[in-house]
Amino acid sequence: MASLLRLPGEQLSMDAEEYVRRRIGSGVSDDQICQGLRDHVIRIKGVSPGHAGAFARAVIEEVRYTRDLSGDLFRYQPAGVRMGEFGVGSRGTGDFFAHRQIARIIGKTAASVGVDEMDDAGAVRLAPAATGPPGENPFIVCTVDGMHSRLSDYPFLAGFHVTRATLRDVYVMGARPVMLFSDIHVADDGDVAKIFDYTAGITAVGEVMDVPLVTGSTLRIGGDMVLGARMTGCVGAVGVANHLTARKGTRPGDVILMTEGAGGGTIATAAIYSGYPDVVEHTINLHFLQACEALLASDILPRIHAMTDVTNGGLRGDVYEIAETAGCRIVILEDRVAGLVQPDVLRMLEALHIDYLGVSLDALLIIAPPDATGEIMRIIRSAGVDIREIGRVEAGEPEAVLESGGKRHDFSPRFRESAYTPVKKVVDRHARDFEEMKQGVRQAADAAIAKKERVKERLKKGVQGSA
């Protein structure tokens, strides 16, 4: 009878451990918690009441064991701010602030391009081999991208778009990708086939671009504790470069070029969940990667100062980050941008009232001196990809400016990227004071830094004691 309580194909989801923790914290009795969790497990997994009850009692037992643990290894200082309300992962001002805190925790390193510079990939210079030719010490570039969270039910699309994204991040550093690695987590009730479809999406891109997938990890989300079929994962890439095109190379007087874009995971998600499934087809291309390959195969790459992809919060977010990193004013000419968005994609965005300047378009931005732009555009167009000049770099306060209708407007990112699904339009607001939330987030990062230093001292003493 229990299996009849779940509809065929129904995908309910919950975190059993979180369910129990919250109810214990609210003073609910163990018997009530056990009954409630048992009923949830029956609905989600369709198992017998006896099995569900035993599972519920075991979860309660485990949570009881962990409630009173204390010390650096078991506790962290809460920020008092939830991920969603601060916009983490939503590619706006909250997300950018959180990432700046991550950079603070990591600190200054010996990397040639570190996380503090807010590029999508990092780089270290390979020490020259004692037996190798003098001067041969290229940069090793590494990056990782998470799959779009709303593509959980579309594993091939998830794998395809995250792979294309991670390869983009290597290419825009001026590097040629040499290998891919992947990670996939599927919740306890997810079909094993999701792993295979996701991997097929990764390798469809990797094999066409001749970049092998060499290693990875496959796990369940939360082990036994997360019930449902949700999937998440990431794909990373490693590349090699002789000339870096990081954002910090941007200079006053440079010209900004942008290629055409049809979007990737974000646009596919917007299309799927807004009734425009035909638009997804436009996102299945390798134009960006092929354009970068053409640049790397030419002699023009050393003339390019910086490259990036239009992803994080759209053009608004990326231009803002470039201005902050390079310490320059970035001016974008709006009348030159819209024509680079794939027409069907642009029509969908306009019909759904989604700001195309604040959403990921997966276009390539190239920043270079004026006397190099003609050759750059010729090479990109020879790869079958359209490209235009859309802006310039000026000396001045680090800021992003949009020129539209003969006037200059502030071009800063919003709290979140443009709301591109019906659900996002509902949650695209924050009631709490942003400055107040920032204070809690900053204090939590300070506490993490202090903990890191305490543990480092402990580790150093251990090494000295064993010497």
Q: What is the DSSP string of 223-250?
A: TTTEES--EEEEEEEEEEESS---GGG-
Rounded to whole angstroms, the Cα distance separating 155 from 147 reads 9
| pLDDT of 131 strictly over 60 | no
The predicted structure's pLDDT at residue 119: 76
Q: Convert the pLDDT of each residue in 253-299 to its tens digit.
A: 999 999 999 999 999 999 999 999 999 999 999 999 999 999 999 99
Question: Which of 105, 239, 101, 111 has its CA nearest to residue 172?
Answer: 239
Kindly state the percentage of the chain with pLDDT values over 70. 93
**Most confident stretch, 12-26, 126-140, 251-265:** 251-265
Q: Convert the pLDDT of each residue in 317-343 to its tens digit.
A: 889 889 988 999 999 999 999 999 999
User: Residue range 168-185: average pLDDT?
Assistant: 96
Please tell me the least confidently modeled range out of 151-155, 413-417, 436-440. Answer: 413-417
The predicted structure's pLDDT at residue 417: 74
> What type of residue is 12?
L
pLDDT-based confidence at residue 415 (cuts at 50, 70, 90): confident
pLDDT-based confidence at residue 421 (cuts at 50, 70, 90): confident
> What type of residue is 141?
V
More confident residue, 115 or 430: 115
Q: Convert the pLDDT of each residue in 439-460 to its tens digit.
A: 999 999 999 999 999 999 999 9
Kindly state the percentage of the chain with pLDDT values over 90. 75
Q: What is the arrangement of strands in the sheet containing 306-309, beginning at the earlier edge strand?
A: 306-309, 364-368, 255-259, 387-394, 329-333, 399-404, 407-410
User: Residue range 212-236: average pLDDT?
Assistant: 95
The predicted structure's pLDDT at residue 7: 42
pLDDT-based confidence at residue 4 (cuts at 50, 70, 90): very low
User: Residue range 141-151: average pLDDT?
Assistant: 95
The predicted structure's pLDDT at residue 9: 43
More confident residue, 260 or 131: 260
Q: What is the dihedral of CA 389, 395, 398, 399, to 10 degrees?
A: -50
pLDDT-based confidence at residue 26 (cuts at 50, 70, 90): very high
| pLDDT of 133 strictly over 70 | no
CA 196-201-203 angle, to 5 degrees, is: 90
The predicted structure's pLDDT at residue 241: 95
The predicted structure's pLDDT at residue 118: 77
- Domains belonging to the chain, first-starting first, are 2-66 (no CATH), 111-129+136-244 (3.30.1330.10), 245-421 (3.90.650.10)
pLDDT-based confidence at residue 374 (cuts at 50, 70, 90): very high
The predicted structure's pLDDT at residue 458: 92
- Say if strands 399-404 and 329-333 run parallel, antiparallel, or are unpaired: parallel
The overall average pLDDT reported for the chain is 90
pTM of the model: 0.90
**Most confident stretch, 78-87, 124-133, 404-413:** 78-87
Helix, strand, coil distribution of the chain in percent, nearest 5: 45, 20, 35
Other beta carbons within 10 Å of 450: 12
pLDDT-based confidence at residue 33 (cuts at 50, 70, 90): very high
| pLDDT of 351 strictly over 90 | yes
Rounded to whole angstroms, the Cα distance separating 87 from 437 reads 11
